[in-house]
């Protein structure tokens, strides 16, 4: 449907030329339709009516709430990992630098952390952390001041050694952090402007806010339309563009200081499955080598190669937005 002019965009207020889109719930395969507005100015996609029973679309096996497997490492290995972390963050350490060069895989969070100038003793907050698997990994990497909050957890968990996971909302926190990250949780929040205002009050003046989100102004979104896997209706309430993220930042006292792209082959194989009517929960038989219906290894490799190229050309379907607080007179921006 085109020419929809009765509802204004949440982000920019535009109400001229907005369109309605109707993606289906496909993670669990209920195939329920949901109405989203696509703004003609900032191109942000936003659900027009958030389900009152949204919680039921986060089933007990929803991936971010699965309890991470316990991994026990000897003290000597943890010390070596800490040295490697120092090197990956840019500190000079001969042993750590050697370990970093010998590592087969470099966890992507080191790219974010080094970009933000984070150190091992920085105060770090993960909002919408789920079960805290990333923070557990960071703890093993040597970070000592880690906190995760998620209002949908069943209970608080204290892992010791500087890591707690709390059933809290942002407004419940009363301390400041050097680095705050929202790893694919921002798009699940019904009032992103209020969220940014609250985050600004707990981010240190020299701190960095990282928002990792799907982006609607991307090749995969254009190619697959309502079958784009990252649409994830109705859980993703807002699917932003670079323009809409800049607008929100300006409205809440932040500068967008950098945008990097980190999309993966998921944007292709997930969307291809949705085109066939196959829910994400049933994806396993389609991985290469899993059977006659599976993608070929060549297709799989092409998906990864194309994702890498799209990231270089800033057209991947997920991005990292680095924000810093704008110095302002006290009270100008408030939650």
Domain boundaries, the chain: 19-325
Q: Does residue 65 register a pLDDT over 60?
A: no
Q: Does residue 73 register a pLDDT over 90?
A: no
Query: What's the whole-number mean pLDDT along residues 125-130?
Result: 94
Query: What's the whole-number mean pLDDT along residues 1-12?
Result: 72
Q: Does residue 209 register a pLDDT over 50?
A: yes
Q: Does residue 310 register a pLDDT over 80?
A: yes
Length of the chain: 335
Q: Does residue 124 register a pLDDT over 80?
A: yes
Q: Does residue 88 register a pLDDT over 90?
A: no
Query: What's the whole-number mean pLDDT along residues 153-181?
Result: 92
Q: Given this model, what pLDDT does residue 335 score?
A: 55
Name the band, by pLDDT with cuts 50, 70 and 90, for residue 262: very high
Q: Given this model, what pLDDT does residue 85 score?
A: 72
Q: Given this model, what pLDDT does residue 2 score?
A: 44
Query: What's the whole-number mean pLDDT along residues 238-254?
Result: 98
Q: Distance between CA 93 and CA 306 in Å, rounded?
A: 36
Q: Given this model, what pLDDT does residue 89 score?
A: 76
pTM of the model as a whole:
0.89
Q: Does residue 107 register a pLDDT over 60?
A: yes
Q: Given this model, what pLDDT does residue 200 score?
A: 96
Q: Does residue 3 register a pLDDT over 70?
A: no
Q: Given this model, what pLDDT does residue 102 score?
A: 63
Query: What's the whole-number mean pLDDT along residues 236-260?
Result: 97
Q: Does residue 282 register a pLDDT over 70?
A: yes
Q: Given this model, what pLDDT does residue 246 score?
A: 98
CB 281 within 8 A of CB 28: yes
The model's pLDDT over 23-58, given as tens digits with 9 standing for 90+, comes to: 999 999 999 999 999 999 999 999 999 999 888 888
Architecture label for domain 19-325 = 3-Layer(aba) Sandwich (3.40)
Q: Considering the chain, what is the average pLDDT of its residues?
A: 89
Q: What percent of the chain has pLDDT over 70?
A: 84
Q: Does residue 331 register a pLDDT over 80?
A: no
Q: Given this model, what pLDDT does residue 109 score?
A: 82
């Amino acid at each position: 449907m085109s020419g929809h002019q009765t509802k204004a965009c949440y982000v920019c207020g535009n109400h001229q030329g907005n369109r309605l889109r109707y993606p289906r719930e496909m993670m669990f395969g209920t195939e329920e339709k949901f109405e989203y507005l696509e703004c003609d100015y900032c191109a942000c996609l936003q659900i027009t009516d958030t389900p009152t029973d949204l919680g039921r679309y986060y089933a007990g096996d929803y991936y971010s709430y699965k309890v991470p497997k316990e991994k026990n490492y000897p003290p000597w290995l943890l010390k070596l990992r800490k040295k490697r972390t120092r090197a990956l963050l840019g500190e000079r350490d001969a042993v750590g630098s050697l370990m970093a060069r010998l590592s087969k895989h470099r966890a992507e969070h080191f790219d974010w952390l080094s970009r933000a100038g984070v150190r091992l003793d920085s105060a770090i907050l993960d909002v919408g952390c789920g079960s805290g698997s990333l923070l557990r990994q960071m703890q093993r990497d040597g970070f000592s001041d880690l906190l995760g909050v998620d209002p949908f957890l069943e209970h608080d968990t204290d892992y010791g050694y500087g890591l707690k996971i709390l059933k809290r909302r942002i407004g419940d926190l009363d301390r400041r952090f050097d680095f705050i990250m929202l790893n694919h949780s921002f798009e699940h929040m019904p009032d992103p402007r209020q969220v940014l205002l609250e985050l600004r009050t707990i981010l240190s003046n020299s701190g960095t806010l990282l928002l990792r989100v799907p982006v609607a102004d991307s090749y995969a979104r254009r190619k697959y339309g309502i079958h784009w896997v990252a649409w994830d209706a109705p859980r993703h309430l807002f699917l932003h563009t670079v323009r809409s993220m800049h607008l929100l930042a300006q409205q809440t006292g932040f500068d967008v200081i950098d945008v990097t792209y980190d999309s993966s082959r998921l944007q292709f194989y997930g969307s291809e499955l949705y085109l066939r009517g196959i829910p994400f929960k049933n994806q396993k038989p389609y991985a290469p080598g899993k059977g006659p219906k599976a993608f070929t290894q060549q297709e799989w490799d092409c998906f990864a190669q194309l994702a890498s190229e799209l990231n270089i050309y800033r057209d991947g379907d997920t991005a990292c937005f680095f924000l810093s607080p704008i110095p302002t007179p006290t009270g100008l921006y408030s939650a």
